[in-house]
Amino acid sequence: MLKLCAAAAIGAIVSTVKIPRARAESEPVAVGGDYYDATSTTTIQGDVGAYPVFEARNTYGGGGSGIFGYAESGFGVKGESPNLSGVYGRSSSGDGIWGLASSGGSGVWGNSNSGSGVVGESNTGIGVKGSVSSGASGIPMVAQGASGQTANLQEWQNSSGTALSVVDKIGWLGVGAASPVSPIHVMIPVGQPASLIAIRAEGENRNVGAFFYSYSSGNFPFFSGRRARGTIASPSAVQANDLLMRYGGAGYGATSFPAGNRATLEFYAAENWTDTAQGTYVTIGTTATGSTATTERLRVTGDGNVVPPSDNTGSIGTASKRWALVRAVTITPGDLIFENGVKATEEGDGLAFVNPKGKKVAVLDSEGNFHIKGKIIQDL
């Protein structure tokens, strides 16, 4: 193991050595003892093509470090390269790179004009690790861009080098989105299950929700859903009765959560959409007691009409929960049926009364004449 220490400057660099020739392969150097103490800035420098200027290997199988750098206030490990990796570490089971700066410095510092500042690989351990040993003001890891940065500041890549998530040049986070278009941009990759949710929040013994704040005389917080047919690359118009957005809720049953919502507020397209025809309607759905089927109960049409999902369904109020006052300009068409079964219905220009057995018992005609089936009895 090579362990380097410096009092104030660069801890991972040994005294200045000029390497006059490029070598066909790197030449590992075995260093005995525990420390190499440097009293001033020291450098290993050389032009060796694509091979490392300095290489340290730890053959101990117990998981040691290839390079350990320590500095009181400078750089624990520092490396620079014009176009490859400033610092490269690889480990089978330990840490690829481990650097420590006790106060005000950098544990590991890597710089490259067009390559990678720091690269760490490990089979079972940690490729690159940043930690703060003491002092709450330390920053474990920093990705600092250049003036006029154009590339991403950070990328999480798969084994093929494809970016899975990124932090772009201005700090916007793309989760599954290689080019975020908002401060947080989440995209579910093609091929994932259609039921996969993009964001999940959970909590125990606490409320779980979200607040949206807006400070302006003209702007405001909002929720909004956008729906298109087709693909991201080639979207197409929504069609009549396409669901545009849904709010829903469900609870835990005896053994699990249900697959779907049990109460819904849904927004639909009322027609095939164009850039000038974009009608909508809204529905409210509930689940009956003793059932698991969510059904539409109320609809607000694009014209503003409040209607049941189909003819002759639903009620306004119940026997024990009645509206105090119902006002309307016109009530039409249909019959007026009372809870005792008596019905008032239209007959010509007048009004007929039908008893619970369906028999017409009286008619009030348009002239004000009152026709009855039985007798007029005065006994009240």
Write down the pLDDT at residue 44: 62
Place of tokens 């290997």: 57
| Other beta carbons less than 10 A from residue 207's beta carbon | 5
Query: Which pLDDT tens digit goes with each residue over 207-219?
Result: 999 999 999 999 9
Min mean pLDDT across 68-77, 242-251, 255-264, 329-338 is at 68-77
Tokens of 132: 């703060």
pTM, 2 dp = 0.68
Q: Order of strands across the sheet with 243-249? A: 243-249, 263-269, 280-287, 294-300, 306-307
Q: Which long-range contacts (CB under 8 A, 24 or more apart) does 49-55 make?
A: 49/22, 50/84, 51/22, 51/23, 51/25, 51/26, 52/26, 52/88, 53/19, 54/13, 54/14, 54/29, 55/26, 55/27, 55/28, 55/29
Digit-coded pLDDT (tens) for 269-315: 999 999 999 999 999 999 999 999 999 999 999 999 999 999 888 88
Most confident of 36-40, 56-60, 130-134: 130-134
- HEC profile for 105-165? CEEEEEEECCCEEEEEEECCCEEECCCCCCCCCCCCCCCCCCCCCCCCCEEEECCCCCEEE
297 CB neighbour count, 10 Å cutoff: 17
Bridge partner list, 85:
116
- Closest CA relative to residue 178, chosen from 190, 192, 191, 168: 168
User: Could you state, in order of their start, the residue ranges of all structural domains in the chain?
Assistant: 1-136, 151-199, 236-312, 329-380
Q: What is the per-residue pLDDT for 15?
A: 34
pLDDT in tens, 311-329: 888 888 888 998 999 888 8
Hey, what amino acid is at 159? S
The answer, yes or no, to whether residue 235 has pLDDT greater than 70, is: yes
C-alpha span between 101 and 8 (Å, rounded): 10
pLDDT reading at 64 higher than 80:
no
Residue 134, CA distances (Å) to 55, 99, 103, 131, 139 in order: 30, 14, 9, 9, 11
pLDDT band, very low/low/confident/very high, at 333 (cuts 50, 70, 90): low
**Would the pLDDT of 17 be above 50?**
no
% of residues, the chain, pLDDT over 90: 44
Residue 69 to residue 98: CA distance in whole angstroms: 7
Give the pLDDT confidence of 65-102 residue by residue, as tens digits.
Answer: 666 665 555 556 666 666 656 666 666 666 666 666 66
Give which of 115, 114, 56 is closest to 89, Cα–Cα: 56
Residue 96 near residue 103, CB atoms below 8 Å = no
